[in-house]
Amino acid sequence: MNKKLLKQTIFFQIFRMTSALVILFLFVMIWTFISNGIGVISWTFLTDMPKRGMTEGGIFPAIVGTVYLTLGAIVFALPIGVASAIYLVEYAHEGRLVRIINSAIINLAGVPSIVYGLFGFGIFVVFLNFGTSILSGSLTLFIMILPTIVSASREALLGVPKSFREGSLALGATKWQTIRHMVLPYALPGILTGAILAVARAAGETAPIILTAVFFFRPSLPRSIMDGTMALASHIYYMATQHHAINLVRPLTYGSVLVLLSIVLSLNILAIVIRTRYRRRKNW
């Protein structure tokens, strides 16, 4: 065989193996948590309060807490994120303001999550006196996922062909009519995909909520957004590091991880499904 060709084949195989590694990691991880956690999964585990210092019982308040926190975050993030994306794409002219906003988005996305946690603690918990509450946690997560939502929405808006806007404007539609009828409907799937991915990320974050919203142990459901709560991610963290009988509760920890992982993965799969369906339907 030709020497060049041999070299190419060798490199090609190396690259192939490294990419296979990625799949391997994912499967090992999923397998570890399934094999260790599946034993404790049951209807009561999902729907019961934790009992006996969290050595027994379920994780229902943690699941509910995670749902509340992420929903709260997205309720704030989606309208604000989409609105600012619309401003950036449709209204703002190239200029200093847009450059500043762009770099703000990039920098905001790069801030470590513990910093968000501290920031949320300082602003929402202490300064605004929301206390350790779902509101404080949601707002903190909202700030954290905002750049993702803005970026995703902006990409989605930019993905709508310019010709739609021109066609609409040339018929005498106003800018808002054009955005409302010819841009947003076609950007929506992309925006939703971004939002779901952001939610998935928010659901898995630990540091921001530990400092702003969650309790180590709270065997009841929150009654309002001003209540603190349990949450899956923080629950796992506490069970694995702070519990007085770490070894004893290990199966429960694995079970919780499995639940969190399922939620996050399902959200990701949902995002993928929306995206592929939308791509298939897209015909311009």
Partner 1 sequence: MPVKIETKDLTVSFGDVDAIKNVSMEIFTNRVTAIIGPSGCGKSTLIKSFNRMNDLVSNVKITGQVLLDGENIYGTNYDVVTLRKKVGMIFQKPNPFPKSIYDNVAYGPRIHGIHKKEILDKIVEENLKKAALWHEVSDRLNSSAMDLSGGQQQRLCIARALAVEPEVILMDEPCSALDPIATAKIEGLIRTLSRDYTIVVVTHNMQQAARVSDYTAFLYLGKLIEYGLTKDVFENPQNDLTEKYLTGKFG
Cα torsion for 232, 237, 241, 242, to the nearest 10°? -60
Q: Is 202 exposed, middle or buried (0-12, 13-18, 19+ CB in 10 A)?
A: buried
Of 163, 220, 242, 276, the one binding partner 1 (CB under 8 A) is: 163
* 221, amino acid identity: L
Q: Is 159 in the site for partner 1 (CB under 8 A)?
A: no
94 part of the interface to partner 1, by CB under 8 A: yes
186 lies in the site for partner 1, by CB under 8 A:
yes
Q: Contact, 213 vs 69, CB < 8 A?
A: yes
Interaction between residue 166 and partner 1 (CB under 8 A): yes
Instruction: Please choose, out of 37-45, 113-121, 165-173, 262-270, the segment that lies near partner 1 by the rule CB under 8 A.
Output: 165-173
To partner 1, the closest distance from the beta carbon of 267 in angstroms equals 28
CB 215 within 8 A of CB 229: yes
Least distance CB 35 / partner 1 (angstroms): 48
Segment 103 to 132, residues that bind partner 1, using CB under 8 A = none
Asked if 284 interacts with partner 1 (CB under 8 A), we say: yes
Residues 6+ apart with CB under 8 A from 222: 61, 64, 65, 68, 134, 228, 229
Rounded to an integer, what is the distance from CA 245 to the centroid of its chain?
Answer: 31
Q: Which of 76, 87, 119, 164 binds partner 1 (CB under 8 A)?
A: 164
**Residue 279 in contact with partner 1, rule: CB under 8 A:** no
Distance of CA 111 to the CA centre of its chain: 15
Among 19, 44, 174, 266, binds partner 1 (CB under 8 A): 174
Q: Which of 4, 93, 223, 244 is in the footprint of partner 1 by CB under 8 A? A: 93
Among residues 8, 17, 167, 273, the one that binds partner 1 under rule CB under 8 A: 167
User: Which member of 161, 226, 266, 279 binds partner 1 (CB under 8 A)?
Assistant: 161
Q: Contact residues for partner 1 (CB under 8 A)?
A: 93-94, 161, 163-174, 177, 181-182, 186, 282-284
